[in-house]
């Protein structure tokens, strides 16, 4: 399991447009990623409705997770998660 | 503030139609006939499907494919925000979580129509449960649900009326798929029964400068063909207007067109008192277009963009290059640059990434810079270097100044780097309340009305549930602004206003009356504010300020000033004089 916890930067949280940019980035990454708000239940990060339904606000902590196998591949996976973290910390509402 | 002989009120009351109230977007006014967007489709019946589950799945797949294709096609035709919103909608229709929800229902014998309807309704309820901004997104899901059901049942998707004659569009709420494709040549105004000031309708109306009134509940009673006046400035819809009302509206439309088309004069009042109109900019890219729109300088240049995408602070050279571009575009004009305004609410890795329970009350603005002083010193170095290379009049100010000591610290540091004019933002009530002593320690004050309102009303500016308190018209906020204006006059130091409040043409008059010497706003607001200021003398602006200060709340402050400006339209006790065709 590779994880990243991050605070969301968009001023209105992860609603339609920022959620779309994030879900598209997940699709582009080509790996299965889950997203959870706080200590809540993780949902698939490739579902825009799933992501929106978490009701994530500006400043909320979210955790991205993906299966890792403890091998060197985990470094590559970590890099992918880091790129998704970038999308989450950006304020798309004031871009 | 209009003399009685220029005012007239129709002797007879209007036709008895009640004025419909809503939230106006922008300052425009329009008159025309109503066309209503078609009402939503009936709820699909909850009866068992006569088809097999596989047949229902196949019907669904083809309907979803068709709807997604239509949305993507519209996304390609749309521009700006609309493109992103439409693409997001296409993704929602094809969403895997939705597919799971629908599939489970079909497996249990539901029709595809009913299954889609219920699955979207479940997500809709979730969003409404969050309240605020997310709840306003619920309309987007309704629209998608309707589109898929319409496709499945072979009826046209609910949508916009078409007409060769220009019309006033009245709808329950407008989905992005609809607003994106509005033929602006035919739409005189938008009226929505639901939705709020942050709905897509409102956002797009602002972006495209369409006259709009949203959340006008009673507009549900309007029918196709009704003649209405839509007044965004007043937030009203007048059904079946009298001839006098219609003539007044037409005069305002013509006046507004003339004002917007006129070459940009410098900002000034009717008596010649200059009120330079400046712009708020977030990057140097927009500088030259702002100059074209008549900006007399920059009242707030935010520097956050230089830092936000960076893991490390930008180098002095990188910063200097940006500032040089900005200052070159405004050669000979005033440019007020705000040093980095970041904190736990705008986290930057290199500045502050500690979690705070109350970021708005924490280490942000100047407080964050004081704890990472090297970043502030580098920024001042880059600004002074860019200033030396260019001919603009550079002013530099600090955000989130709470104390005289803060003001003295920043001013002293800026001087050390050769910054000629150093000042502070007044956003915290403490700074407003002792503005005379703050100004004694620095060169100028710029009032940030958004934060000043947030701190005065103790209402998070990003939280929908307290959005009604985020009102710069509130007399408590205005009183603080008045304190700063008075201190400016007493000390002979410049006081300006930047922030949303300065972009409201009516409030702009009040701000000048309270002692603001310059106003800074988004470039799109310049023309309306310029025209508004040119309609009053300084004495009238002060009279408007007194009326607003005496009000009990923001809404009545606004109403009091509106009544002074246009007697009869909102004044509960209109002056009765012989009718000569003016506003009633």
Q: Report, as an integer, the average pLDDT of B322-348.
A: 86
Residue B9 has pLDDT above 70, yes or no: no
Residue B335 has pLDDT above 90, yes or no: yes
Give the helix/strand (H/E) hosting B338: strand B334-338
Q: Report, as an integer, the average pLDDT of B131-137.
A: 70
At residue B577, the pLDDT reads: 34
Pairwise CA distance, residues B349 & B247, whole Å: 59
B355 chain-A contacts, CB cut-off 8 A:
7
Q: Which positions of chain A have pLDDT values less than 70?
A: 16, 68-74, 92-95
Indicate yes or no: CB of B97 within 8 angstroms of CB of A50: yes
**What domains are defined for chain A?**
2-88 (3.30.1340.10)
Answer with the residue of higher pLDDT: B472 or B490. Answer: B490
Indicate yes or no: CB of B133 within 8 angstroms of CB of A12: yes
Residue B10 has pLDDT above 50, yes or no: no
Low-confidence winner among B118-132, B190-204, B363-377 (lowest mean pLDDT): B190-204
Residue B207: phi and psi, rounded to 5, are -60, -40
- Tokens representing B570 are 């909102």
Q: Which residue bears the tokens 């889950």?
A: A34
Indicate yes or no: CB of A17 within 8 angstroms of CB of B123: no
What is the DSSP track for B61-127?
Answer: HHHHHHHHHHHHHHHHH--THHHHHHHHHHHHHT-HHHHHHHHHHHHTTB-HHHHHHHHHHHHHHHH
Cβ-based neighbours of B320, under 8 Å, separated by 6 or more: B382, B385, B386
Residue of A nearest to B98 (CA): A49
Percent of chain B with pLDDT over 70: 86
At residue B416, the pLDDT reads: 97
**What domains are defined for chain B?**
17-38+159-239 (3.50.30.10), 53-153 (1.10.274.10), 263-550 (3.20.20.60)
| Contacts with A, B 85-124, CB within 8 Å | 85, 87-89, 91-92, 95-98, 123
Pairwise CA distance, residues B530 & B200, whole Å: 28
> Which is it for strands B167-171 and B187-192: parallel, antiparallel or unpaired?
parallel
Choose from A4, A49, A88 for mutation: most chain B CBs within 10 A: A49
pLDDT band at B569 (very low <50, low <70, confident <90, very high): very low
Indicate yes or no: CB of A52 within 8 angstroms of CB of B85: no
Smallest Cα distance from A20 to chain B, Å = 5
Answer with the residue of higher pLDDT: B196 or B130. Answer: B130
Measuring CA to CA, how many Å separate A73 from each of A46, B397, B413? 21, 49, 50
Cβ-based neighbours of B55, under 8 Å, separated by 6 or more: none
> Which residues on neighbouring strands pair with residue A2, listed in sequence order?
A66
Which segment, A1-5, B340-344, B385-389, is predicted with the most confidence on average?
B385-389
pLDDT in tens, B56-101: 999 999 999 999 999 999 888 877 777 888 888 899 999 988 999 9
At residue B537, the pLDDT reads: 97
What is the sign of the dihedral through the CA atoms of B239, B242, B244 and B250?
Answer: positive
Cβ-based neighbours of A36, under 8 Å, separated by 6 or more: A42, A43, A54, A62, A63, A65
What is this model's ipTM?
0.87
At residue B311, the pLDDT reads: 65
């Amino acid at each position: 399991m590779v994880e990243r916890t991050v605070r969301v930067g968009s001023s209105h949280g992860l609603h339609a447009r920022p959620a779309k940019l994030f879900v598209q980035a997940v699709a582009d990454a080509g790996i299965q990623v889950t997203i959870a708000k706080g200590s809540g239940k993780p949902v698939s990060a490739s579902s825009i409705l799933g992501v929106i339904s978490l009701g994530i606000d500006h400043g909320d902590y979210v955790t991205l997770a993906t299966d890792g196998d403890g091998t060197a591949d985990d470094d590559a996976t970590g890099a992918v998660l880091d790129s998704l973290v970038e999308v989450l910390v950006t304020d798309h509402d004031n871009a | 503030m209009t003399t009685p002989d220029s005012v007239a009120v129709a002797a007879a009351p209007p036709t008895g139609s009640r004025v419909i109230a809503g939230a106006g977007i922008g300052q425009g006014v329009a008159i025309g006939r109503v066309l209503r967007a078609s009402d939503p489709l009936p709820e699909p019946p909850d009866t068992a499907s006569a088809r097999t589950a596989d047949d229902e799945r196949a019907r669904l797949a083809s309907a979803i494919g068709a709807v997604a294709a239509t949305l993507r096609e519209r996304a390609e035709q749309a521009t700006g925000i609309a493109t992103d919103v439409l693409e997001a909608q296409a993704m929602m229709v094809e969403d895997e979580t939705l597919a799971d929800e629908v599939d489970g229902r079909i497996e249990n014998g539901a029709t595809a129509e009913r299954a889609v309807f219920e699955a979207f309704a479940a997500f809709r309820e979730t969003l409404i449960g969050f309240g605020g901004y997310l709840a306003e997104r619920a309309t987007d899901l309704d629209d998608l649900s309707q589109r898929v059901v319409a496709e499945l049942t072979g009826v046209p998707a609910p949508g916009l009326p078409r007409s060769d004659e220009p019309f006033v569009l009245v709808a329950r709420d407008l989905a992005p798929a609809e607003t994106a494709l509005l033929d602006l040549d035919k739409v005189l105004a938008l009226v929505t029964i639901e939705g709020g000031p942050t709905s897509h309708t409102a956002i797009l109306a602002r972006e495209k400068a369409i006259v709009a009134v949203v959340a006008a509940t009673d507009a549900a009673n309007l029918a196709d063909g009704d003649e209405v006046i839509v007044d965004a400035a007043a937030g009203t819809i007048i059904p079946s207007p009298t001839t006098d009302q219609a003539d007044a509206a037409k005069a305002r439309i013509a006046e507004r067109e003339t004002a917007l088309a006129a070459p940009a004069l410098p900002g000034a009042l009717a008596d010649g008192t200059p009120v330079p109109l400046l712009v708020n900019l977030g990057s140097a890219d927009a500088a030259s277009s702002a100059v074209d729109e008549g900006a007399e300088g920059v009242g707030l240049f935010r520097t956050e963009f230089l830092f936000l995408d960076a893991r490390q602070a930008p180098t002095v050279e990188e910063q200097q290059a940006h500032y040089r571009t900005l200052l070159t575009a405004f050669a000979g004009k005033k440019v007020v640059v705000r040093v980095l305004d970041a904190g736990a609410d705008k986290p930057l890795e290199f500045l502050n990434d500690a979690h705070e329970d109350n970021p708005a009350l924490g280490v942000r603005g100047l407080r964050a810079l004081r704890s990472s002083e090297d970043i502030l010193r580098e920024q001042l170095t880059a600004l002074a270097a860019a200033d030396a290379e260019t001919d603009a009049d550079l002013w530099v100010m600090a955000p989130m100044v709470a104390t005289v000591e803060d003001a003295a610290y920043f001013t002293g540091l800026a001087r050390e780097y050769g910054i000629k004019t150093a000042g502070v933002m007044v956003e915290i009530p403490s700074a407003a309340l002792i503005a005379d002593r703050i100004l004694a320690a620095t060169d100028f004050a710029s009032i940030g009305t958004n934060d000043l309102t947030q701190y005065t009303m103790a209402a998070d500016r990003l939280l929908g549930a307290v959005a009604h308190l985020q009102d710069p018209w509130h007399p408590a906020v205005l009183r603080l602004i008045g304190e700063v204006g008075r201190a400016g006059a007493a000390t002979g130091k410049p006081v300006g206003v930047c922030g949303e409040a300065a972009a409201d043409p009516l409030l702009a008059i009040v701000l000048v009356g309270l002692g603001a010497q310059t106003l800074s706003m988004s470039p799109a607001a310049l023309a309306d504010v310029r025209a508004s200021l040119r309609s009053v003398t300084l004495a009238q602006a002060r009279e408007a300020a007194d009326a607003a200060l005496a009000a009990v709340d923001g809404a009545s402050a606004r109403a009091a000033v509106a009544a002074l400006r246009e007697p009869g339209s909102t004044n509960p006790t209109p002056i009765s004089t012989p009718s000569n065709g003016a506003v009633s």
